[in-house]
Every structure is written in C-alpha cells, then in structure tokens.
Amino acid sequence: MTFPPQFLDELRTRLPVSEVVGKKVRLTRKGREFSGLCPFHNEKTPSFTVNDDKAFYHCFGCGQHGDVISFVMETDGLSFPEAIERLASQAGLEVPQSSPEERERAKVRTTLYDVVEQVCAWYEEQLTQSGGRAAHAYLRERGFTEETIGRFRLGFAPDGRGRLLQAMEARGVRRDQLVEAGLLKMPADDGRGGGGEPRDYFFNRVIFPINDSRGRVIAFGGRILGDGQPKYLNSPETPLFHKGRSLYNFTMAREASRDAGTVIVAEGYTDVIALAQAGLPNAVAPLGTALTEDQMRLIWRIADEPVLCFDGDTAGERAALRAAERALPLLQPGKTLRFTALPSGEDPDTLIKARGAEGFRTLLAGAHHLVDVIWQSELSAASRDTPERRADLERRVNVRLAQIEDPGVKYHYQQTMRQRLRDLFFVARPAKGGKQQVRGRRDGPRRPELAPGLGPRGDIGAMKLQQERMLVAMLVNHPDLLHDSHEPLNEISLQSKDLDTLLKEILKHAVTMPVLDTRDLQRHLIENGYEIPLRQVLHTQVYRQASFAAPDATIADARAALDEILGKYRYRRERLAPDRIDATNELKDDNNETSSNKLLELVREESGAGSL
C-alpha cells in the first residue's frame, strides 16, 4: 500500500519521536536530545539517543536507526501499513485510502516539487535582470545584504502576462503542471466555451520562497512593488502547500533553535529575514493568517516555549489573544507560549536598527507567559465593582481553564488563577478607631486578647489540643491548601471533638467553593455556629508557637508545615497498622478488658496521627 509523502510528513510532524519511543523506553533529556537504554539489544550503559529536531532515533551500540514509523514496526512487529494505521490513530489523522487515483496524485506531487524548484530559480534570475532593478533596490533599501538575498533565495516575478509560462514551457514544464502548482490561474469561463489565456499568479512582486520541513520549495509569497492590493500574496492551496500547516523559514529556524533555546514567531517574511541578518536566525512566521494549531505543534517540535512577537497595537493584542485561545487545548507539560509586544510603530527591522540584536533579546527575555495573557484579557474585559461582576470574572476564567485538556496543566492553571482571584478580591473595612484594616490573606480578622480555655495545662492532652489548633488555624488562614490536600485531610480525626467537627465543616465547605477566601471561610464558619472554637484557633498564642499558621506566613512555609503534618500522620498510621491488626486478632481470641483497652489505646493513638 502506498501512502502520500505529504501524509507521512504530517504524521511525523504531529508525533515527536520522543513521544512514541518514550512509551517503551525510559528517556532522559540531555540538552536537545534524549537518551536511554536501547530496546534493540541488551546494554547497561545508555547508548540509545532520540532527536526530535531531526525526527530520528539512533543507537551507537548496535547501529539501529530510524523514525517513528520504523520504531513501531521494529518494536511491535507490525507491517508498514499497520504501523501507519496505529500512528495515524494516535495523531488524530485519517489514513488516506490507496487507489489508482491517489497513486497518480503522488506521482504528480513528486513532479511538482521539481516544477516549483525550477520556477524558484527563474524568479531568482529575474531579480538580477534589468527588469528586476526596482525589486532589487527595494530589498537593499530594507537593509538586506546580497548574502541575505541569496541565502533566502529572494526573487522577482516580472510584470507582463505569460512571461512565466513562456519561460517554463521552454524548459519542458507543461501548462497544467504550473496550474496545479498554483503558479498560473485560469480565467473564469466567459460563457462561450473558454475564458482566455491563463495568467501568472504572481507578477510585479518581490518573491519569497516558502519551504517545507525538508527544505524543499513548495510555494511562494509575493510583495507588490508600488501601490496595489493585496500588498502581500501567498500561493493558493496546492497538493504541496497548505497554508495553515506551513511556516516561513522553518528549516533554518529549526537548526538555529538548538543554540538559541527558543523560536521567535514574527508576523511576516521581512521580519524573519531582518532578524536572521541581525544574528537571530531562529525566527519563523505564519503565512498571512493567525497562528494555527498545526503550526503550534510544528513549532513545539523544536522549542518548548516559543516567543510570539506582535505589534504593540490593538490588532497585535487581538492576534496574541487568538493565539493564546487556540493554544489552551493543546498545552502539554513543558509546552507553552510566551508573548512580547513591540513598541508602537516599531517592527523587528526598525527595532534592531535602533537597539541592536542584544536590545531585541532583552525584549524577548521580558516576554509574558501564556497564563498572564489569558488573565489580563479577562481582567480588562469588564469592571469588577460589584459581587455579580466579580462572579462573572471568576466564571469567565473557569471557562478558559475548562478548555485545557491535559489534566496536569489544567490543575496548575487552576491553582494559579485561584490565587490571583483571591489576591484581586482584597477589601478594606473600617476598624475600631476609624482606621482602615485591610482584610485578606495576609491580615485576617482581629484577634481577641484572650480566648477561653487556651491557657496551658502542662499535660499531653493540652499539647495535642494546641497542635490541633495550629493545624486548623493554618487551614483557615491559608485556604488554598485545602484543594491540594483535601483527601489526606479527610482521613484525619482530631482528638478534640469541637475541632474535629470544625475541620470537617471546613473540608465540606471547600468542596463547594472552587475559589476559597479566608474572609469568606471565616464568615461561613461563624454563621454556622463555630465562632467559639474559631476564636480559640485564631489567637496570638497559637501564632507565637506556630508562625506557619499565622495569616502573614508565606504560603510556602504553610505548605511545608502541612506536608510535614500529613507525612507524620501517614507514617504513624503505617507504623501502627500491624499492631492494630494484632490487637484486633487478640481481642477476637480473648475478649477481656486488657485486650479491649490495648486496642482502644491503639485506635486513639492512630486517630491522633495528624498531631505535630
């Protein structure tokens, strides 16, 4: 069975080698590559490497070498068609059915590569002819050197109908091949059985060749000389070229990204060329459209955090937001986008001339993260001066987060957004004496000078009671800990009945509130009859003995303390479990007071396993 080369290229693009190999081999990242123990021969020292940039694996021990398709064939014993079907299912692609027509189209595509290459060379020649002087002068006025013009194979499509057709037919290229490659267009039917002679798709334009991931020319972009619309024009969709799946300068940027560590996504051809000439060859550009999902996957093959560079105007902001929205469902651990906005009126070319390459790198270093772009877009969408509008902001943020498909990434986005919502909704209220008291995570409620029953009694029971108050105080003052540790906290039974009931109410309330604020939590507890135990918990003496429980403690200190408490609880339960089993069996064999008291003591000790 024969598969179209374009389909196989798309399959390899969508499935990085490390993703497929990583399901069978434990890989360790080493710079731009991965290494692991070879699955094809026994070895103790890793000699097997995977390179996503070059889309292959290689073993220096046994010499095995190949791509994702050959790996699945070798490791799973599949035929070529079977491997293709399995990989296509993973990539979400439909396997094209082989037919005589499809085989014929594959032959046409193979021929078209040669046709497009010949046309590219002809465009290059035209730039050096007398008719190309204006185009050449335009490129030099943009600051492009002869070396740069040659490296990017820039050319010129001369004016005048039939020039390209005449030149190509002299070289043996047929008219229908030029039409198929998107280089000639047939006039509309005039109703009398014909529409006249075909005309060149590009004329009187500076030409920018567009390559595929293998470096082959597959299409062109053209910039008109003088006035006229459209200013920029891309080749139409052809058997070789799909605009939403291609990127300008991808091949060069892939090589350069190894040293740069990232990829710059600019807006157009000349931006990319200006960056490359200034020493930043790791730049690509979409082809006249917003960045598509397929283009994002292509970029992530060579950089985990590409930087999208947009104009600093309203249109640039809209473009950045569209890219951010499209990226959310595709996010994977370590794979994201960053965004930087150019100063108003600047493009990469003018900015580099003004600040130099280092100035541009400084701008890139300050790029905003994807989470910041999403947050800011929702924050600026409407005011938040009423409870309803604040609730609407929270709803809109949650709608955004629901688009993230990877559970791990979604969880951390939720944590980040919850914290930002809590920090945003700080309020102030008049305190006694008319002074303003800021209410929020860091300040909390006023503390009474003395809470009843808090004084030290000097026994073990008092110590455990105080420790349990520390735990509850920490959770009330830092409620964001509840969502992280809800399940293990549910397993704890506090010895103080009042505090245990209070803890269960806190955990119950946390389930119903995706965003939990300390002020709202305290109000809920007071309204439900827990004011007295809450006052005993939120007290200066508790904070003096456990600074991590205080409202002004850092979230990092509070989380570290909670992790230690839960760790001790788990350890004690695991340590006591065998003794409890023995005591239970002993009570079954001999139901006397001694056996009963022994088991009861173990149960009591185990129930207090969460104590500090």
Check pLDDT > 90 for residue 218: yes
Residues 61, 105, single domain; the answer is no
Check pLDDT > 50 for residue 444: no
pLDDT for res 429: 43
Model pLDDT for residues 524-551, shown as the tens digit of each residue: 898 888 888 888 888 888 888 888 888 8
In this structure, is the dihedral angle defined by the CA atoms of residues 73, 79, 84 and 85, taken in order, positive or negative? negative
Residues 284, 310, single domain; the answer is yes
Residues 303, 374, single domain; the answer is yes
**E runs forming strands in 274-314:** 283-284, 307-310
Residues 572, 529, single domain; the answer is yes
Residues 79, 129, single domain; the answer is no
445 in a domain, yes or no?
Answer: no
53 in a domain, yes or no?
Answer: yes
555 in a domain, yes or no?
Answer: yes
229 in a domain, yes or no?
Answer: yes
Tell me how far apart the alpha carbons of residues 86 and 95 are, in angstroms, rounded to a whole number.
10
pLDDT for res 455: 38
* Overall domain count for the chain: 4
110 in a domain, yes or no?
Answer: yes
**CATH code, 211:** 3.90.980.10
Residues 184, 121, single domain; the answer is yes
Residues 237, 250, single domain; the answer is no
Residues 395, 251, single domain; the answer is yes
Instruction: Give the tokens for residue 444.
Output: 């909390």
Average pLDDT over residues 395-418: 92
Residues 527, 561, single domain; the answer is yes
pLDDT for res 135: 96
Residues 34, 126, single domain; the answer is no
**E runs forming strands in 243-331:** 264-265, 283-284, 307-310
**CATH code, 395:** 3.40.1360.10
Check pLDDT > 80 for residue 380: yes
554 confidence band (pLDDT: 50, 70, 90): confident
Residues 217, 158, single domain; the answer is yes
The answer to whether residues 65 and 50 touch, using CB atoms and an 8 Å cutoff, is no
137 in a domain, yes or no?
Answer: yes
Residues 271, 184, single domain; the answer is no
What domain range is 132 assigned to?
A: 99-188+196-241
Check pLDDT > 80 for residue 483: no
pLDDT for res 541: 82
Instruction: Give the tokens for residue 344.
Output: 């108003």
